[in-house]
Amino acid sequence: MTVNYKSVFDIIGPIMIGPSSSHTAGACAIGRAANSIFQETPTDIVVHYYESFAQTHKGHGTDYAIISGILGFEPDDSRVPYAIGLARDQGINITFIEEPEDSPINHPNTAIIELTNSKDGKKVTVAGCSIGGGTIEIRGIKMNGFDIKPKGPLPILLVPGSEVDQQNVTDQLTALTKVNEKKQYQSAKGDLFEYDLDRRLKPEEVKELAKNNTNLVYL
Amino acid sequence: MYMSVAELVDAAKKTKKPIYELVIEQEMDTSHNTREEIWDAMGRNLDIMAAAVKKGAEGEGVFSKTGLTGGEAVKIKNYRSAKKTLSGDLMMQAVQNAVSTNEVNSSMGVICATPTAGSSGTLPGVIFTLKDRLDLTRDQMIQFLFTAGGFGMVLANNAGIAGATGGCQAEVGSASAMGAAAAVELAGGTPEQSAEALAMAISNLLGLVCDPVAGLVELPCVKRNAIGVGNALISADMALAGCTNKIPADEVVAAMDKVGKGLPSTLRETGLGGLAATPTGVRMKEKIFGKAVDAKA
């Protein structure tokens, strides 16, 4: 069964800078997911807000929280409130848009992040929602010509490569945890597999997986 | 993973283990971390809570950037020492601890979300008050947090804990229920009594809306934690006295989920209804963000 809250520390925690777990810590987590997917520093950040996020992002510090995540900060990093200034100092262009319509991924706390690097033309889009207490879901990712639509709950592992290439990934994952769902995506650049995992992996376990699959994304 | 209150209570009865022990075992199983790592991580959360409880009630107190909230934990502290409180010193100590924590949160200080930042004062309000009342050790306080967290996971996975989806009942209501259930265990109550306390605590706050003025986690969030902590202690006491909720805990959790889904979006953390929509609430929003924001909304 896929549940969102897999750890007692999702409930007692996270330790964070106030004021809102869903609009600050959760926003930071959506930014961190985008950072993990993009894997480089963007030149342009565009954030689209929907519903509750559109109405209350200013009051909750959602703007700096999301940028802090894109810069790779943890939610209790003392630099979180200063993230926008820090990003602009690096020459990053930032735009926030309050969208009037309902969330395209059906959740009141929705942010869709577009990251672009104008130097190499790289672009990704990440659609995330903050479901409470700092926990998030990722329901849409556009990268490398793939249009990935996960169910939502983390952790999610994305591994490019053919079905044959995936055998060692499957073997390694089976030894670690249950795979709740495995989905295949195709683009002009080849195949990509999405694995929805039953438990969060430890950093050293992700490192081990990355040894044979340097382009994997772990969310 | 324990997916219902009944599963957690049954397992505690069958194994004759306290609920905190089952929650620690569950965490070891799902995270593959050692018992010591898990215990220490919860200890760090407790330390962060202790720091916030203290910080908000020291000196002049802490204040948010907007000036909407702050300094009231200190007012409560001074009132406690100067006057005879109506609801008793223990209750007002709990309220002080809760308000202090949430004032730190509103001032963008460091807190531990339990289960959310907006409801982060409720559990510390309970535990740091019971610490003095029951002369608790640090280990017992950490055990309290595991029990509260175990019940919180059931609430979060069955009904949700976000104001934007379930209203304040899902935030302060959940925190209050977690605190009530864990307080019962600390005081020597049975697992069934923990479940009754949880059921009563949620039933008492069912339908509570999320209506933050200007969309900020300040008004009425800070003081909602006062009712969260009061309700937790009252519900725990009623359960320990042998009172029952009659409607079983898991049915109450399902009802909370349904009530949350039935709330209009204006009362789910949009800052557009309830107290946020009062003339004074609207004026505060305009003063903080200017009229342009309001027009866009």
Q: How confident is the prediction along chain A (219 residues), in pLDDT tens digits per residue? A: 578 999 999 999 999 988 999 999 999 999 999 999 999 999 999 999 999 899 889 878 899 999 999 999 998 898 998 999 999 999 999 999 999 999 999 999 999 999 999 999 999 999 999 999 999 999 999 999 999 999 999 999 999 998 888 888 888 999 999 999 999 999 988 999 999 999 999 999 999 999 888 889 999
3-state secondary structure A113-175: EEEEECCCCEEEEEEEEEEECCEEEEEEEEECCEEECCCCECCEEEEECCCCCHHHHHHHHHH
> What are the residue ranges of CATH 3.30.70.260 in chain A?
152-219
Residue whose entry in the numeric block shows the structure tokens 């810590």: A25
| Euclidean distance between CA atoms A91 and B257, whole angstroms | 45
Give the count of domains, chain B. 1
Mutate to test the interface with A, among B165, B172, B219, B256 (most CBs of A within 10 A): B165
Which sign, positive or negative, has the C-alpha torsion B244, B246, B249, B253? negative
Distances (CA, A) of B193 to A5, B40, B188, B241: 25, 28, 10, 9
* Cβ contacts of A12 on chain B, cutoff 8 Å: 42, 45, 112, 114-115, 123, 145-146, 148-149, 152
* Cβ contacts of A60 on chain B, cutoff 8 Å: 215-217
For B:20-39, CB contacts with A below 8 A are 23, 26-27, 30-33, 38
CA A94 to chain centre: 18
CATH 3.30.70.260 fits A152-219, yes or no: yes
Mutate to test the interface with A, among B22, B146, B216 (most CBs of A within 10 A): B216
Q: Tell me: the pLDDT tens digits for B40-51?
A: 999 999 999 999
DSSP annotation string for A93-107: EEEEEE--SPPTTS-
pLDDT at A212: 83
| Euclidean distance between CA atoms B271 and A63, whole angstroms | 17
pLDDT at B54: 98
Distances (CA, A) of A170 to A178, A194, B31, B212: 10, 11, 20, 47
> Are A108 and B165 within 8 A, CB to CB?
yes
Mutate to test the interface with B, among A5, A7, A8 (most CBs of B within 10 A): A8
pLDDT, chain B, mean: 95
User: Which token pair is A59?
Assistant: 């009051």
* pLDDT > 90 fraction of chain B, expressed in percent and rounded: 94
- Nearest C-alpha of chain B: how many angstroms from A158? 20
CB-based contacts of A210: which residues, under 8 Å, 6+ apart? Answer: A216
A109 bridge partner residues: A51
H or E stretch covering B138: helix B138-158
Longest Cα–Cα distance in chain B: 60
| B294 compared with B17, residue with greater pLDDT | B17
CB contact under 8 A, A16 and B44: no
CB atoms inside a 10 Å sphere around CB B200: 28
Q: Please give the interface size between A and B, counted as residue pairs whose CB atoms are below 8 Å apart.
A: 196
Domain around B251: 5-296
| Euclidean distance between CA atoms B199 and B256, whole angstroms | 10
User: Which token pair is B269?
Assistant: 């953390």
b or e along B144-159 (b: 16 or more beta carbons within 10 Å of the residue's beta carbon)?
bbbbbbbbbbbbbbbb
A179 bridge partner residues: A197
pLDDT at B132 over 70: yes
* pLDDT > 70 fraction of chain B, expressed in percent and rounded: 98
pLDDT at A56: 87
Residue closest to A72 by CA, chosen among A41, A116, A94: A41
CB contact under 8 A, A61 and B108: yes
Q: Tell me: the pLDDT tens digits for B57-105?
A: 999 999 998 999 999 999 999 999 999 999 999 999 999 999 999 999 9
> Are B23 and B41 within 8 A, CB to CB?
no
User: CA dihedral defined by A84, A85, A91, A96, rounded to 10 degrees?
Assistant: 30
A12-143 fold: 60s Ribosomal Protein L30; Chain: A; (3.30.1330)
Beta strands A44-50; A109-117: pairing state:
antiparallel
For B:114-133, CB contacts with A below 8 A are 114-118, 120, 123
For B:87-106, CB contacts with A below 8 A are 104-106
CB contact under 8 A, B113 and A21: yes
> What are the residue ranges of CATH 3.30.1330.90 in chain A?
12-143
b or e along B252-272 (b: 16 or more beta carbons within 10 Å of the residue's beta carbon)?
bbebbbebbeebebbbbbbbb
* DSSP-based three-state secondary structure for B112: strand
Q: Is B139 exposed, middle or buried (0-12, 13-18, 19+ CB in 10 A)?
A: exposed
Residue whose entry in the numeric block shows the structure tokens 């999610």: A156
B17 bridge partner residues: none
pLDDT at A1: 59
For B:200-259, CB contacts with A below 8 A are 212, 214-218
* DSSP-based three-state secondary structure for B121: coil
pLDDT at B295: 35
* Cβ contacts of B253 on chain A, cutoff 8 Å: none
CB atoms inside a 10 Å sphere around CB A197: 22
Query: Shortest CB distance from A12 goes to which of B45, B108, B166?
Result: B45
pLDDT at B294 over 70: no
pLDDT at B68: 95
CB contact under 8 A, B214 and A202: no
Distances (CA, A) of A87 to A91, A92, A122, B92: 7, 6, 18, 44
For B5-17, what is the mean pLDDT? 98
pLDDT at B296 over 80: no
